[in-house]
Structure 1
Amino acid sequence: MFFWPLKRGLSLRISLLLYLVFPLIVVLAVTGYYSLLRLEQQVEKRMQEDIELIARAIRGPLEHSLEHGREGGLAQTLASAFRIGRVYGVYVYDAHGRKIASSGPREPEVHSLELAELAAKGDRVGGYQDARGAQIYSYFVPLSDSVGRNTGLLQLTREGRDFQQDLLQVRHQGILLLSLLSVLLVGMVLFGHHQVIGRNLGSLVKSMARIEKGDRSHRAAERGPREMRHLALGMNAMLDSIARSEKELEQRRHRQIELEQQLQQSRKMAAIGQLAAGVAHELGTPLSVVSGKAQRMLRNPELPNSVAEVFGQIRDAVQRMEHIVRQLLDFGRGNPLRLNSTPLESVAESAAAMVQEEAHAKRVSLSLNGPRPSPNASVDRVRMEQALINLLRNAIQATHHGGRVCLSWFAEEDRLGFAVADDGPGVPEELRDRLFEPFFTTKAVGEGTGLGLSVAQAAARDHGGTLNVGRAEIGGALFTLTLESRD
């Protein structure tokens, strides 16, 4: 039943007071009580000993006066004892209990028979008596002559309230001291709680409040006693663990989204590839027939020039269509790679030779740059040349008349590949994400199919590499086809 407040959510400070300070105060009070009793007994004993010392001091003169019958000496001795201040009354009795001398305001109520018995026994006796309504303390000392015969009895008294006042003063001082100790103990516990527990625990509570409001980057200060530091350290470790878990979950979520997008893109590319391959196969034969017949007609010497010009235009259009069909076949083919160890320099020179005529027609300067002799790479030469041809044609079309295009190859540790740069306008940032989508093109209608970069990217991906676009040092676009390993 006593622990019910604690179950109701009592504060730590009040709990310390109830379960630590309060029991200590109770123990201190009980100990102080018995100590005070013991102290009062010591004080009372000391006051009684004062009476005994006075009695011993005047006993000798009194015995001498009684033995020689000097009443004046008795009165003088009693008066000197009374002047000490600690004595309430002094009385002298003979061997029969009759009072023969006294000094004091009141006489204690003691029968002569009792006094005679005390004198005859020769014992020193002390105790409390009533003297006309007042409580006094009496001390009896037997008197004897020089040969040891009993000659009388000496009685010294002191008011009981003197004892009570001293004892009351001691009691008040003890209670005051106990109260001060209790207050000091409570203050020390509260101060120690604030310094050691309160402010450090308050700092942890504030930290948890900040974290609860969403400040996940905040960490608790690791200060205070070892237990508090361990608590703050544990909370910070928990927050770090949660942050790492959230980061991992976020990375996994992004990775899952990327994989889903890649899967959708792969399905899309597969569907487009199947469509492109089917269309290319169906168009290949008719285009060959049209191209062959147009070529035979052009061989007829009697053909008028106007008609020959028309057949030449037909043949040029068919060749363009055949080029588109080849791109469709390259994009949609699923044939395995025919890998061979080939120098990068040889692949680059072959691709450049295939587009040299187009570059010359547009007066574009086409340069080759790279280490010679170049390292070998395990590639499908036909697929890699086709990828570079598409990149070079895009670069030639993108640059202005009289511009520059550079095809280079590189080898860096475990990476090697090709780079195609031009001095054209470059690729805007907003278009780079869609640049490699099939049939996406920024060219005018009739100038491109939007398959060149898709074919180049497919070739890079099939070789385990990547195709990236950036900004060239000469001002235009930079396409980097990277292969991940050497031959």
Structure 2
Amino acid sequence: MKISTRLFLYILTLILLTSLGLGWISVQDERAHLLGSAGLMARTLARTLAATFKYYHMQDQQQRLSEIIHALLPHDANVNRLLINIYDRRGNRIDLTFEHGLQRRTLRRDRLPVPQGRGSSEEIIRDGGSDYLSVLSPIIDSGGKVQGAVEVLLSLDGINRNLAALVRKFLLFVLLTTLLLGLTLYLISRWSITLPLARLGGAARQLGHGDLGMRIEKSGVHEIDELIGEFNRMAGNIEEQSRKQEELFREKIRLERGLRHRDKLASIGQLAGGLAHEIGTPLGVISGRAEQLLRQCGPDDPARPGLEAIIRQADRISRIMRRMLAFARKPESGQSEVDLAALIDDAFSLCRLRRRGSRTEVTLETDLACTSITADADGLRQLFVNLMLNAFQAMTDGGTIRIASREEKGELIVTFSDTGPGIDDAIADRIFDPFFTTREVGEGTGLGLFMAASIVQEQGGRIEVDREHGGGARFIIRLPRRRITVATETGNNHGQ
């Protein structure tokens, strides 16, 4: 059963019991008041008649008696049903009964004990389903002797009807008042208790379904607000714990990726060293023999173009092997104070020299709020060279490279962006993998961005792709401002 319903029933029962008790007391008081008024009137009438009959001779006619009684009766609608009997000194009823709204046969009593004192006697008698108030007053002559008695019988049916109507009205009033108060209490308890508890229950279900940001507004009821406050604090603690667990999970994934990447680097390093050794010697022989044959060919010899192609491809293979050897060896880097602005200009100049045969125009824009960092200068230079070469190759129709830097919480934040076609979300998580490339076969080795990520990680930082940036590729590089030792663990942190 709901709290509001239970509270409504409890209070309704209490109101009904209290109202019925007060009503019963009120009805009894009203009955006593009405009976007292009727008794007073009956006593007054009986005593007045008794005092009158002291000078009245019983031998007078009935008409004379009726005139006297009519003259003494009060003109009140509440006493229009009475019967007056007269008795002699022996208690025998004299045939001078006065009827007023009651029949003579009503409560016919031919003999009554006549009071011997001066006081009146009263009693309530019941006859035929009706109640009557009987007041008997003695008739005393001038000598003080009892000559007879006057009985006034007053019907109480009118009083009973009035009391019954009063009870009906009171019950109707109690019913309406109880329903109104009960409805008011029900609505108040619903707004103050049931609805806030329902919101609390709904919020608990949402929290159980994973909505950790669920909070409840206070209701204005002190006790309920304390419960809501505890719920909000609990939800906040759960959200904080969930956030910490998510961070730990991400850190675990990052470490696992780093370990896998380190194992991959070790395997690639071993493979690169073996390939350089195994391929270098025969490649040198092939290149040397081709150059010797080329020198023996004339300018118009048909074999010349083929020999030139062999030499070019051999040189290309040789460059690839040198890069693989450089990647496999990873000499210890030295830490020094680096001027970032000068280093970026130097890297851009190297890239333009390597692309001097290209007809595309690429410009450099920098916004360096922070230019000083302690790092490996050669590594950073190679980082920007690789990123710039990648941008040069992407912007086939020319464009702009923008580099900005700022300091944030002890880190140097460098943003590198270009105006090329950008990076598809489908491959954003793979661009830092070794040998991954989207270019045609023979146009790239897939090591440029891989080596850039390795350099950043060796400096104790991380590099990631800005997925929300539109209109070209955008990389965010985070480097520590001061670094004493070189990191021995490398890991791929992109996309975090």
Q: What's the TM-score once normalised by structure 2's chain length?
A: 0.70
Q: Does the 8 Å contact 2:54/2:140 carry over to 1?
A: yes
Change (3 A) 1:352 1:153: same
Matched, 1:320 2:351: no
Q: Does the 8 Å contact 1:395/1:420 carry over to 2?
A: no
Matched, 1:158 2:152: yes
Please state how far the C-alpha of 1:426 moved relative to its aligned partner: 4.0
**Paired residues for 1:377-416 under 5 Å:** 377-400=373-396, 403-404=397-398, 409-414=403-408
**Paired residues for 1:96-111 under 5 Å:** 102-104=96-98, 108-110=109-111
3-state SS in 1 of match to 2:231: helix
What code does the residue aligned with 2:137 have?
Answer: F
Q: Does the 8 Å contact 1:367/1:407 carry over to 2?
A: yes
What code does the residue aligned with 1:40 have?
Answer: R
Residue of structure 2 in register with 1:140 after alignment: 137
Aligned equivalents of 1:49, 1:354: Cα separation in 2:
130
Change (3 A) 1:184 1:60: same
Residue of structure 2 in register with 1:89 after alignment: 84
Residue of structure 1 in register with 2:183 after alignment: 191
Moved more, 365-374 or 47-56: 365-374
Cα deviations across residues 199-258 of structure 1 (Å, max 9, x unaligned)?
7667568758977698969988876xx54x864884697379548836863x56654554
Structure 2 spans left out of the alignment, 5+ residues:
74-79, 99-103, 484-496
Matched, 1:456 2:457: no
Please state how far the C-alpha of 1:292 moved relative to its aligned partner: 7.4
Report the count of equivalent residues: 455
Change (3 A) 1:421 1:269: same
What code does the residue aligned with 1:460 have?
Answer: V
**Paired residues for 1:233-248 under 5 Å:** 234=227, 238=231, 242=235, 245=238
Please state how far the C-alpha of 1:453 moved relative to its aligned partner: 0.6
Q: Which has the higher contact order (CA 8 A, sep 6+)?
A: 2
Residue of structure 2 in register with 1:442 after alignment: 438
Please state how far the C-alpha of 1:37 moved relative to its aligned partner: 4.1
Aligned equivalents of 1:72, 1:59: Cα separation in 2:
16
What code does the residue aligned with 2:12 have?
Answer: V
Residue of structure 2 in register with 1:265 after alignment: 257
Residue of structure 2 in register with 1:6 after alignment: none
Residue of structure 2 in register with 1:25 after alignment: 16
Change (3 A) 1:351 1:82: closer
Matched, 1:40 2:31: yes
Cα deviations across residues 49-68 of structure 1 (Å, max 9, x unaligned)?
223222443455444457xx
Match of 1:358 among 354, 357, 361: 354
Moved more, 254-263 or 385-394: 254-263
Change (3 A) 1:349 1:316: farther
Aligned equivalents of 1:73, 1:195: Cα separation in 2:
75
Please state how far the C-alpha of 1:484 moved relative to its aligned partner: 4.8
Matched, 1:275 2:267: yes
Aligned equivalents of 2:245, 2:125: Cα separation in 1:
101
Match of 1:168 among 140, 144, 160: 160
Change (3 A) 1:417 1:315: farther
Aligned equivalents of 2:121, 2:461: Cα separation in 1:
121
What code does the residue aligned with 1:281 have?
Answer: G
Change (3 A) 1:180 1:221: farther
Please state how far the C-alpha of 1:359 moved relative to its aligned partner: 1.0
Q: Does the 8 Å contact 2:369/2:405 carry over to 1?
A: no
What code does the residue aligned with 1:273 have?
Answer: L
Q: Does the 8 Å contact 1:426/1:476 carry over to 2?
A: yes
What code does the residue aligned with 1:49 have?
Answer: L
What code does the residue aligned with 2:394 have?
Answer: A
3-state SS in 2 of match to 1:360: coil
Change (3 A) 1:172 1:475: closer
Change (3 A) 1:279 1:322: farther
3-state SS in 1 of match to 2:426: helix
**Relative to total residues, which structure has the larger helix share, 1 or 2?**
1
Matched, 1:57 2:13: no
Change (3 A) 1:175 1:379: same
Cα deviations across residues 263-283 of structure 1 (Å, max 9, x unaligned)?
343233212211232233334
Aligned equivalents of 2:188, 2:416: Cα separation in 1:
69
Q: Does the 8 Å contact 2:123/2:135 carry over to 1?
A: yes
Change (3 A) 1:316 1:302: closer
Aligned equivalents of 2:167, 2:472: Cα separation in 1:
97
Please state how far the C-alpha of 1:322 moved relative to its aligned partner: 4.0
Q: Does the 8 Å contact 2:4/2:189 carry over to 1?
A: no
Q: Does the 8 Å contact 1:92/1:99 carry over to 2?
A: yes
Moved more, 296-305 or 339-348: 296-305
User: CA RMSD, aligned part only?
Assistant: 5.0
Structure 1 spans left out of the alignment, 5+ residues:
1-8
Q: Does the 8 Å contact 2:85/2:152 carry over to 1?
A: no
Aligned equivalents of 1:72, 1:195: Cα separation in 2:
76
Residue of structure 1 in register with 2:68 after alignment: 80
Please state how far the C-alpha of 1:391 moved relative to its aligned partner: 2.3
What code does the residue aligned with 1:272 have?
Answer: K
Aligned equivalents of 2:125, 2:265: Cα separation in 1:
130
Please state how far the C-alpha of 1:387 moved relative to its aligned partner: 1.8
Cα deviations across residues 171-215 of structure 1 (Å, max 9, x unaligned)?
423432342244224322442244323576675687589776989
Q: What's the TM-score once normalised by structure 1's chain length?
A: 0.71
3-state SS in 1 of match to 2:463: strand
3-state SS in 2 of match to 1:88: strand
Aligned equivalents of 1:34, 1:417: Cα separation in 2:
88
